[in-house]
Chains A and B, each alone.
Chain A
Amino acid sequence: MIGKSVIRKEAWEKVTGKAKYTLDTVSSGTLHAKLVTSPYAHARIRDIRTEKAYAAPGVRAILTGEGLPLTGEDLRDRPPIAWEKVRYHGEVVAVVVADTLMQAEQAAQLISIIYEPLRVVGSPKEALAEGAPLLHENLATYQKGKYTYPEPGTNIAHRTKIRKGSMEKGWAESDVVVEASFSFSPSDHAAMETRCATAEIRADGTVVITASTQAPFMIKRLIGEYFGEEVGKVVVHTPFVGGAYGGKAPVQLELLAYLAAKAVGGRKVSVWNTREQDMVTSPVHIGMEATIKLGATKDGKITAAEMVFLFDGGAYSDKAIDVTRAAAADCTGPYHINNVWCDSLCVYTNHPYASPFRSFGHCEQAFAIERTIDMLAEKLQMDKLAIRERNAILPGNTTPTQVMLNKSNVGNLPACIARVRELIEWDEWQRIEINSRLVRAKGVSCSWKTSTIDTDASSGAIITFNTDGSINLITGVVEIGTGTKTVLAQILAEKLKMDINDIHVKMDIDTQTTPEHWKTVASRGTFMAGRAVLSAADDAIRQLKAIAACILRVSSEDLEVGYGNVFLRDDPSVYIPIKEIAYGYKYPNGNAIGGQIIGRGHYILRHLTPLDKETGAGKPGPEWTVCSHAVEVEFDKRDYTYRIIKAVSVIDIGKVLNEKAALGQVMGAMSMGLSFASRETFFFDRYERVLNAQFRTYRPLRFGEHPEYIADFVYTPQIDAPYGSRGVGEHGLIGMPAALANALSTAAQVPLNQLPLLPELIWRTKEGWFNDSV
Chain B
Amino acid sequence: MIPFDVAYYRPSTIEEAVQLFSSLEAEGKRPLYYGGGTEFITLARLGRTFADAVIDLKSLPECRILSVTAHELTFGAALSLSTIEEANSFPLLTKAVREIADRTARNQITLGGNICGRIFYHEAVLPFLLADSRVVIAGKEGISEQSIHEVFEQYMRLSPSQFLVQVKIDAVYNKLPYVHTKRRQQGNTGYPLVTVAALKKDEKLRVAFSGVCPFPFRSLEVEERLNRKLPLDVRIANAIEALPSPVLDDIEGSANYRLFVLRHALLDVITALEGESA
Contacts and interface: CB of A to CB of B under 8 A. Distances in A.
Interface string B16-59: 00000000000000000000000000100111000000000000
A772 B254 contact: yes
B186 A678 contact: yes
Given A683-B251, A691-B251, A773-B249, A696 B187 contact: no
Interface of A: 101-102, 105-106, 109, 274, 276, 638-639, 678-679, 683, 691-692, 694, 696-697, 699, 701-702, 704-705, 756, 758-760, 763-764, 767, 769, 772-774
A697 B189 contact: no
Contacts of B186: 678-679, 699, 756, 758-759
B3 A109 contact: yes
B253 interface: yes
B105 to A, nearest CB: 10
B118 interface: no
Contacts of A683: 251
A638 B4 CA distance: 50
Contacts of A694: 42
A105 B253 contact: no
5 tightest Cβ-Cβ pairs between the two chains A and B: A105-B3, A683-B251, A679-B186, A774-B254, A760-B257
A760 B47 contact: no
Given A639-B264, A702-B102, A702-B189, A772 B256 contact: yes
Contact of B254 (A678, A679, A702, A773): A773
Contacts of A772: 254-257
With a 10 A CB-CB cut-off, give which of B102, B185, B187, B249 has the most chain A CB atoms: B187
A315 B57 CA distance: 47
Given A679-B186, A772-B256, A773-B254, 11 more contacts: A639-B261, A678-B187, A694-B42, A696-B42, A705-B187, A759-B186, A760-B257, A769-B254, A772-B257, A774-B249, A774-B253
With a 10 A CB-CB cut-off, give which of B183, B185, B249 has the most chain A CB atoms: B185
Nearest to A276: B46
Contacts of A764: 257
A106 B187 contact: no
Contacts, number: 72
A83 to B, nearest CB: 25
Interface residues of B, number: 28
Interface of B: 1, 3-4, 42, 45-47, 102, 183, 185-191, 249-257, 260-261, 264
A325 to B, nearest CB: 32
A707 B55 CA distance: 44
B251 A697 contact: yes
Contacts of A691: 251
B249 A701 contact: no
Contact of B187 (A692, A702, A774): A702
Nearest to B187: A705
A318 B173 CA distance: 61
Contacts of B185: 679, 758-760
A696 B188 contact: no
B251 A692 contact: yes
Given A105-B1, A106-B3, A704-B188, A769 B42 contact: no
Nearest to B193: A760
Nearest to A757: B186
A758 B252 CA distance: 10
Contacts of B264: 638-639
A764 B249 CA distance: 15
A638 B251 CA distance: 22
A102 to B, nearest CB: 6
Given A638-B264, A769-B257, A772-B257, A701 B251 contact: no
Contacts of B252: 697
Contacts of A773: 249, 254-255
B249 A102 contact: no
Given A274-B45, A764-B257, A772-B257, A679 B3 contact: no
A709 B254 CA distance: 33
Contacts of A679: 185-187
22 contacts: A101-B1, A102-B1, A105-B1, A106-B3, A106-B4, A639-B264, A679-B185, A679-B186, A683-B251, A692-B251, A694-B42, A699-B189, A699-B190, A702-B187, A769-B254, A769-B256, A769-B257, A772-B255, A772-B256, A772-B257, A773-B249, A773-B255
